[in-house]
Amino acid sequence: MKKLLKYLKKYRLECFLAPMFKMLEAIFELIVPMVVASIIDEGIKTGNTSFIRGKVILMTFLAVVGLIVAITAQYFSAKAATGFATELRYDLFRHILNLSNKETDAYGSSTMITRLTSDINQTQTGINMFLRLFLRSPFIVFGAMISAFLIDVRIAFIFLLMIAVLFLTVALIMKFNIPMLKNVQGALDRITLLSSENLSGNRVIRAFSLEKNEIDNYGKSVDEHVSRQIKAGHLSALMNPLTYVIVNTFIVILIYKGAIRVSLGELTQGEVVALYNYMSQILIELIKFANLIITINKAIASGNRIADILSVSSSIPVESLNEPVTEQINDSFDPQTGTGRDADNIIEFDHVSFRYNDGGDEALSDITFKVRRGQTVGIIGGTGSGKTSIINLIPRFYDVSSGAVKINGKDVRDIPVDKLRHGIGLVLQKAALFKGTIAENIRWGNDDATDSDVKEAIDLAAASDIVKSKGGIGAMIEQEGRNLSGGQKQRLTIARALVRKPDILILDDSSSALDYATDLRLRNNIRGLSNSPTVIIVSQRTSSIRYADNIIVMEDGKIAGTGTHDELMKDCEIYREIHLSQYEKEDA
């Protein structure tokens, strides 16, 4: 949590003024019992109405000024807490975007969402209450005790004993309550995970008629969260009744002892009332302080969870996230000097092995191949054979476990990530679109693209009919492209990659939802691109990669064969089986 306090540096003045104004409010409150005592002892006792009237005006003044001071303190504390949360949320979001796939896979999206929302809200509330009460409550407690000593030393020892008992009670409750509050936040993570999975996968759930199972699982998680919350709440709920019992017990003792002292003429009635008011103030402030401790503990637990994410260093740092990159991969290549780079091959896998988790099985084993500049390369294989794993290593979404992936003869780990990815157009298996216009989605590939550039990319992706049917490039796309079919989303994501005019174009099974005619038209358009990119096509269809310059066949994370379609049909049994399973009737 200490690491997060740096976000309050811009609000030093507010952090100083908020508690100072609260201290001023507390001083006014401590004066009031003395005024009441003087009204009883000097005004009511003697029947001096003008004296009483003057003191009432004084009390009214103290109340009005106290209200103004309290509102001012609330303003400064809210400003500091809100500013803290804003700065923290921005930095956390930025940090998450900087993390590599390895770190985000380890934590999961639901955990990240909880950190960005619930946990930051908890810390904001904690900061707000801390600035308002961390000086006020102790000040009133000790101020009331000192005032009691000024009135009567013997009676004041009752205050000392009461405060000691109250602090011991609060400390014991907090000792057991803090771990419970941490468990409550852990259960909330589980609920967020289930919510995210069910909302994103609701069609799959309905297709398999598993709504009841998911409702039951969600219900169990909610019940567990409620159970933990109730246990923590029961313990927290003991705070108020216990403190009230303790304070009221001491109030009875105070009144009893005070009555005896009054009868002996050692105390006045007004002083006993003042002592009673001071004891009531202590009760109220200790209850506030106890609630503050609960809130602070929640904030600290949430702050530590946020700090855990912020302390994670990305295994693949992005050097300049917000700086524009204009240089493409081929722009930095000098075919005459070479500068130590391969003049013929743009992509090279040199004995690459890779695993997603450090202790897990290898997803790729000893992968070696080269892709020449301007070539079209196809990658095919069964599910789980490692096709997408190869694709993930080229833009350095993950780092290899051993070996090297090279672009222009240079290890991708030695190339700035933003520069590397700027030269790559990537279309993933799952077509991801964002809420906004068609043009806005396409311009994710190139912010500077003109309307004509956007339309050209749409034409190349064989998506003109989609745009026309929707009403043009200004038509709205719903969140996750809900108002588009699978094939329509795929074509628009391909257009998004093409508008970049990349040096390397990677299509990761991105035409699986397209019919054969549209797929053929798309491939012909890509082959005719004026910038002649190097194209890598991952596909389950042999028709999509049949005319590639080279085809890589994957099986169990290893290369089972390479060559052209005709060569593989002769020499690679796996490729032949895949092709014949799709076109057996035609080839027969």
The mean pLDDT value for 247-257 works out to: 85
Mark 353-363 as b/e (b = at least 16 C-beta within 10 Å).
ebbbeeeeebb
The rounded radius of gyration (Å) of the Cα atoms in the chain is 35
* Residue 378 confidence (pLDDT) above 60: yes
Topology adopted by domain 343-587: Rossmann fold (3.40.50)
* Residue 380 confidence (pLDDT) above 90: yes
* Residue 336 confidence (pLDDT) above 60: no
Size of the chain, expressed as the number of residues it contains = 588
- Taking 3-state DSSP, the helix, strand and coil percentages for the chain, each rounded to the nearest 5, stand at 65, 10, 25
Which residues are CB-neighbours of 444 under 8 A, at least 6 positions away?
434, 496
Q: Which pLDDT band holds residue 114 (cuts at 50, 70, 90)?
A: confident
Select the more confidently predicted residue: 548 or 176: 548
The mean pLDDT value for 461-482 works out to: 88
Instruction: Select from 272, 111, 137 the least CA-distant residue to 192.
Output: 111
* Residue 511 confidence (pLDDT) above 80: no
User: Rounded mean pLDDT of the chain?
Assistant: 85
Structure tokens, 542: 């042999």
Topology adopted by domain 7-310: ABC transporter transmembrane region fold (1.20.1560)
Domain extent listing, the chain: 7-310, 343-587
* Element containing residue 366 per DSSP (H, E): strand 364-372
The mean pLDDT value for 409-419 works out to: 88
Q: 173: which strand partners?
A: none
* Residue 148 confidence (pLDDT) above 50: yes
CA distances from 513 to 402, 487, 509, 510 (A): 35, 5, 9, 8
Q: How would you write 85-152 as a 3-class SS string? A: HHHHHHHHHHHHHHCCHHHHHHHCHHHHHHHHHHHHHHHHHHHHHHHHHCCHHHHHHHHHHHHHHHHC
Q: What's the rounded Cα separation, in Å, for the pair 204 and 198?
A: 9
* Residue 205 confidence (pLDDT) above 50: yes
